[in-house]
Structure 1
């Protein structure tokens, strides 16, 4: 992983644009990795684990500013965010530890089915996510948050793309939050998963820091703009963007699956 990559100016510009767009999408509803990670994978000579690790640097910069913006303007429920973030942090370390050993193709069909189910469920129930109606209180609520944090944290450490969207839909569909507070909580948890993955990747020298910081600076700007826009426009706006992002994820994973089995 120590070899030096030769990257031209046009590639850098495209990566920065990808980081800016990814930061905006991630701040609104999650799923910025659908844009940022594929862009990094196109860098000549980069190894998949390097792209995954470098993507985490870019993402954590964006999620830090969007989480802070949401915290100040929405006041996310820390009774949910704190235990979920701790569980996700630990699980993300474990996921990152096996990221280089398990091919992403093994998970693609499973994630595709899950995304189709999520999109169908969201479209079929337009009233879901408009208001917060929590399904459980007390220990049952905390237990559900911990379980979701472990599951999604492990996925983010292992693969990553779509994590923010999975967090939002789990907070809306399982715990009963409206889309806007769900996005606010998701940013805190997503920051923790990125941090957990980096705890493993950084000591192993997998991060390409020049790329990560350049993409991260753009991601930070996009995250700030996206979080402010989501807060201003509310849960209805977040729901629409969520459906668009999940639809894009379904198309991308569907194409990968077709190529994998019939290409």
Structure 2
């Protein structure tokens, strides 16, 4: 059923899925935990299969988090719906493009982009503390579609930090507070995950039983994480965002520049 996966590996993957759901429900970045766990513990499986299995788990937790936010706060649907629709297209195209070209340039740029996000969020102490939309309804829809297309392409093509980029885009470009931005990011993330699954699943790049088992734990983590974010407010979410982006910088920086530094000093 689990393709001869040892029990301790299953337990570790379930713990990782819970942690991923917890973090992802608050600020995104759950892939920082779940994807390295899958790749590290199941090295004999293909990359596409592990990414597809990750998407099964992620889409369940993200869907629950989106539902929880929608019940508790007002989701800015005028911007979020166009972003969601265009993210479906963008993520599917991105998943196709990644099979055609190298991701090396984007891999090297990613830590720099994340560092910019961290510095901007840290310097702007009031960022996302007040919900003050600054675009008219028509411009919100247009900008929402553009943001969804761009970040959907990125998610399908590469992926790390998608939820964090979405949150910051909704806060900076649209004037949403962190809670509204998180709620919107969850909805758009669902579209990205579904579009990626539409590419991976028909090709058989999923371990269904493992994905569903991890999904149960990811959902449990999402329940705890969304509850914490809603209860503690935008200031708490900002602090968690800074912590997660910092970890993403370290992780992606090591992955991107580690081999070059090793070759240089070796």
Give the alignment's TM-score, normalised by structure 2. Answer: 0.94
Question: For residues 8 and 101 of structure 2, what CA distance do their matches in structure 1 show?
Answer: 32
Equivalent residue number for residue 89 of structure 1: 88
Match of 2:155 in 1: 156
In 2, Cα distance between equivalents of 1:102 and 1:238: 36
Partner of 2:37: 39
Residue 258 (structure 1) shift? 2.3
Whether contact under 8 Å (2:21, 2:222) holds in the other structure is yes
CA distance in 1, matches of 2:35, 2:92: 19
Distance 2:159 2:75 in 1: 23
Alignment of 1:222 with 2:221, yes or no, is: yes
Report the counterpart of residue 137 of structure 1 in structure 2. 136
Q: What is the number of residues matched between the two proteins?
A: 260
TM-fit CA distance, 1:173: 1.4
The alpha-carbon deviation at position 80 of structure 1 amounts to 1.3
Give, in whole Å, the separation in 1 of the partners of 2:178 and 2:225: 14
Distance in 2, matches of 1:106 and 1:217, equals: 35
Question: Please, what is the CA RMSD of the aligned residues?
Answer: 1.4
Contact preservation (8 Å) 2:78, 2:137: no
Mapped contact 2:108–2:257 kept (Cα < 8 A) = no
Structure 2 residues not aligned, in runs of 5+:
none
Residues 100, 13 of structure 1: alpha-carbon distance in 2 compared, 3 angstrom cutoff: farther
The alignment partner of 2:43 has SS state of coil
1:62 aligns with 61
Give the Å deviation of 1:138: 2.3
How far apart are 1:135 and its partner, in Å?
Answer: 2.5
**Alpha-carbon distance change, 56 to 102 in structure 1, aligned in 2, over 3 angstroms:** farther
1:11/1:203 CA distance change after superposition, 3 Å: same
Structure 1 residues 67-126: Cα deviation after superposition (integer angstroms, max 9, x where no partner): 000000112111111111001011111112233444444321111111000000000111
- Is 1:254 matched with 2:238? no
Partners of 1:172 and 1:73 in 2: how far apart? 19
Measure, in 2, the Cα distance between the counterparts of 1:103 and 1:62: 30
- My pick for the range that moved more, 177-186 or 126-135, is 126-135
- Which stretches in structure 1 are left out of the alignment for 5+ residues? none
Write out aligned runs for 1:68-87 (5 A): 68-87=67-86
Structure-2 separation of matches of 1:192 and 1:199: 10
- The aligned residue for residue 169 of structure 2 is 170
CA distance in structure 2 between the aligned counterparts of 1:55 and 1:102, rounded to whole angstroms: 22
